[in-house]
Chains A and B, each alone.
Chain A
Amino acid sequence: MPGILITANRLEDGVVVWLATDFTWTETRSRAGIFDADTVQTARHSAAGDQTNNFVTAIYEVMVDGKADVSAREAIRANRGPTIQAPPDRHPSIR
């Protein structure tokens, strides 16, 4: 379903969150609400309230086509981390 996602960072830890259909914030992209022209106004209002209440910051909206995240940027955010392997912290020979 094409529509609009509302996303932000949680203020206290900066973690990427999306607004769910029940207007709570989720860390899981697949649980993000996809709002249409009818629902998006209320969703925006709720999100803005959470910004005023210092729960989230840096809110913005993303258009989606219903299949995949359109931009690489949003795909990487949804992935909750980089697309490459972090350097190894366990080296067999030293611990």
Chain B
Amino acid sequence: MYKYDTIDRDFLDRRSAQFRDQVARRLSGELSEDEFKPLRLQNGLYLQLHAYMLRVAIPYGVLSSRQLRGLASIARDFDRGFGHFTTRQNIQFNWIKLVETPDILDRLAELDMHAIQTSGNCIRNVTSDPLAGATDDEVENPMVWCEVIRQWSTLHPEFAFLPRKFKIAVSAGAEDRAATGFHDIGLRLVKARSGEVGFRVLVGGGQGRTPRVAQQLTPFLPKKNLLSYLEAILRVYNVAGRRDNIYKVRLKILVEAMGIEAFSDAVNMEWVGIRDSVVELPLEEFERIQRHFARDTLPPADLTSEILEAYCGKGHAFERWMRHNVLPHYDPGYANVCISIKALGRPPGDASASEMERIADLADRYGMGEIRFTYSQNVVIPHVRRDQLIRVFEGLGDIGLNGGENGLIGDMIVCPGLDYCNLANARSLPLADRIFQHFADAGLRDEIGKIRLNISGCINACGHHHAADIGILGVNKKGVENYQISLGGRAGEDAAVGRILGPSFDEHRVPDAVAAIVGLYLHRRKPDETFGDAVVRLGVDVFKRELYAAA
């Protein structure tokens, strides 16, 4: 992973000192709230329902065991002992005191971490595939490019005051595990017939009030031109984005209003002036960054393990975990372990300090000391020797996080909702638990198989409900929390926005509604047909009729 040098460290120290001064001036009254708010937002500090919330950047979701332990200590020393993993591969803390924030930023700086560009109208933390560099289905390691984009976009003076926030995702796998179709810019590394690797560039995706799947801007961009091309897109958006209308301000609306061809013409016009200019990444700099991501030499692993065999085929929880949560690695003797931060009775995506510490320990002992946060609010320990998997499973069992839920109905993506969020209409976390309770039988969850059920507490869609097989959206119905259900969303290669089924339900009726939808699928599916594929084949209306006939 990328290691900070003295330039990076100096920069963070100065940034932290600057914020300390700004906080002092706010507390003394020298700065008004209106003056201070944009400054605190530039440092990831929001005022939420109960207190300040601090969102810490985890660049493309990658962190070291030392950093994760540091985050655990921040949770313990400055908060209530836990943190929340977000869909943008970051972590947020919920009870932060303004007066203590400068100390926290210092602590983060010691860990080579910060909260810059985790909020505000700038290029946000770039996201990527949690298996990057650890899987053999990728064209090349996308983290190299994520780091290039991180360095280019961090405090980029031209893009510090964009019309609105701006999200970029990079993926390189045969399977798109970074939801690139739902970002302002989605970059997919692809190989041309000539063997040359470049980017397929998508633009104008996003969720929120007006969900849109990104459209292709170019099928192949040479790697050497990435930065000039990104600059060109950002420049067009910076000038033409609808700053006058909050509902039309995102890139997705601009692309739609102009049409992809006119947008592409505008980008190309901007691009000719800067293509192959000093804006491009110098080769030496690319090579310097690339060296940080060179594959570690993994010690040879024993493929035949007695312990593994002893457990397999016995219906043990270990076997279930192996099936769903142990993901392939480029080396057949190794695996990538997905830790489901979802279990009955616990808020999806929340982890306590001691749990973070245990995960860090496991990454040190059985992995390479590296951890990934995923878009689905789980954690991945990459590079685990297969013959050590049972130890990891047992280590996770001590903290109740050895459930094999990855990709199943219990693996819900859920935003903090009204339990924490100032903008929410309805609670998402207790609803997630109600639904989990309804499907408490692990055998049933296995039988249902791959399915994505996501919940957002309001139309901002942080819980990615638009991109879910079953999406649930919290709405306010005459002052009462209600939930709208949509069907048919997808986040991967064939991204699609789900369709709303009909009138909303109250929290007590949602689990039955979900059960009715899932029941119809189980009844009508073909062998090996996933929920998502069945919805495509049968059509959303079939489910809609079933749902409202039962209601």
Contact = CB atoms under 8 A, between A and B. Distances in A.
B426 A9 contact: no
Nearest to A86: B82
Interface residues of B, number: 46
A29 to B, nearest CB: 12
Contact of A77 (B26, B50, B354): B50
Interface in B8-25: none
A76 B417 CA distance: 11
Contacts of B96: 14
A45 interface: no
The 7 closest A-B pairs by CB, nearest first: A82-B419, A14-B51, A13-B97, A14-B52, A89-B352, A93-B398, A89-B81
A15 interface: yes
A86 B429 CA distance: 11
Interface stretch (B27-35, B176-184, B287-295, B448-456): B27-35
B27 A54 contact: yes
A76 B418 contact: yes
Given A16-B50, A57-B47, A76-B49, A84 B82 contact: no
Given A73-B49, A86-B81, A12 B98 contact: yes
Interface stretch (B55-63, B106-114, B343-351, B364-372): B343-351
Given A12-B27, A14-B97, A93-B398, A86 B47 contact: no
Given A54-B29, A93-B398, A15 B80 contact: no
Contacts of A9: 47, 51
A81 B347 CA distance: 13
A62 interface: no
A30 interface: no
A93 B50 CA distance: 32
Interface of B (DSSP majority class) = mixed
Nearest to A82: B419
Interface in A52-95: 53-54, 57-58, 70-73, 76-77, 80-91, 93-95
Given A11-B27, A54-B27, A73 B98 contact: no
Contacts of A14: 47-48, 50-52, 95-98
A81 B50 contact: yes
B29 A91 contact: no
Interface of B: 26-29, 33, 47-52, 76, 80-82, 95-100, 345-347, 350-355, 358, 398-400, 418-420, 424, 426-427, 429-430, 433, 479-481
A90 B47 contact: no
A16 B94 CA distance: 13
Interface of A: 9, 11-16, 51, 53-54, 57-58, 70-73, 76-77, 80-91, 93-95
Nearest to B83: A87
B47 A82 contact: no
A94 to B, nearest CB: 5
Given A94-B354, A95-B354, A77 B29 contact: no
A47 to B, nearest CB: 14
Q: Which has the most chain B C-beta neighbours within 10 Å: A84, A91, A93?
A: A84
B24 to A, nearest CB: 11
A16 B98 CA distance: 13
Q: Which has the most chain A C-beta neighbours within 10 Å: B80, B99, B354?
A: B354
B98 A11 contact: yes
Contact of B430 (A11, A51, A84): A84
